Amino acid sequence: MSEKISLRNRFIQTILRIDKEMTWYFDSHIHLSDPIYSCDMQFILKEMEYLKIKACCVSMDNENSLQTLELAKKSDLVLPFIGIHPECANDELEQITNMIEENHQSLSGIGEIGLDPTYVNSNEDSKRQIHVFETLLSFAEKFNKPVSIHSRKSLDDIFQIMNSYNTKHALLHWFDGSKKQLQKAMDMGFFVSFGPVMVYANDKQTLLSKTDESKILVETDGPVRFSRCFEMKSGQISFIPSVIFCASKILGKTFDEMTILLENNSKSFLGI
């Protein structure tokens, strides 16, 4: 009987060791706390566990940030980022800074934050966006947290502002700049992420090929919808292996090599 117990214990230890050594996939930017996912959340969390995917769950505003914190309590695969998206810059800033103060020990990062002229209708709107962005950057630095940055049509302004902040753990999510702007991002030490669009967009594939390999991350930005091979479906975390496979082909790596690279990059971004 003792021999059977010993064999069983050795088997369990072997399984645990293998599981510990297995590579994890990371979705560096997804809105898992968006209402569109709520009815399927139990399935999504099980799917993440089965596929071994961890998700940087970013937020839009105060209410959504609270939902992100609650979701993170359900699974340690959900890495909570809270913040105010530039579209929601008129949200109560003090509430989110208080939330960061109260929860900084359990936060994985600050985001989604940034600038976007699409949501600007006046000079006051622009000033408000900048104020919110800079305030939340200051809190990220105060608590040594990575940031997930929205930079649509505003990369040059982002670069100028970030000259005053630490970019070591800063992600320009869904990078959509020029080759020159990509080089500037690399020079400043930013991470950049690429999503499902890369599977069918030649310009994104070219940008990936010119990115410092140590600064590449992948994302879905769900629930954004994708055309072509994704048939206008909302971004699902299960898309991540397809994005990794595409990236591996572009960079001439095996899938396993790409996965290991991305896991190391993700841990470097997150500071873990």
Evaluate whether 59 touches 29 at the Cβ level (below 8 Å). Answer: no
Domain borders along the chain are: 24-270
- The CATH architecture that domain 24-270 belongs to is Alpha-Beta Barrel (3.20)
DSSP, residue by residue, 206-272: HHHHTS-GGGEEE---TT-EE-GGGTTEEP-GGGHHHHHHHHHHHHT--HHHHHHHHHHHHHHHHT-
**Longest CA span, the chain:** 78
Q: Which residues contact 145 (CB under 8 A, 6 or more apart)?
A: 104, 107, 108, 109, 110, 139, 169
Task: Check residue 21 and give its pLDDT.
Answer: 59
pTM greater than 0.75 (yes/no): yes
pLDDT for 166 equals 93
Distance CA 237, CA 254 (A): 21
Query: Running DSSP on this structure, what letter comes out for residue 23?
Result: P
**What is the C-alpha to C-alpha distance for residues 85 and 173, in angstroms, rounded to an integer?**
12
Would you call 82 exposed, middle or buried from its count of C-beta atoms within 10 A (0-12, 13-18, 19+)? Answer: buried
- Please give the average pLDDT of every successive group of 10 residues along the chain, which has 272 residues: 46 41 91 97 97 98 98 98 97 97 98 98 97 98 98 98 96 97 98 95 96 98 89 90 97 97 98 96
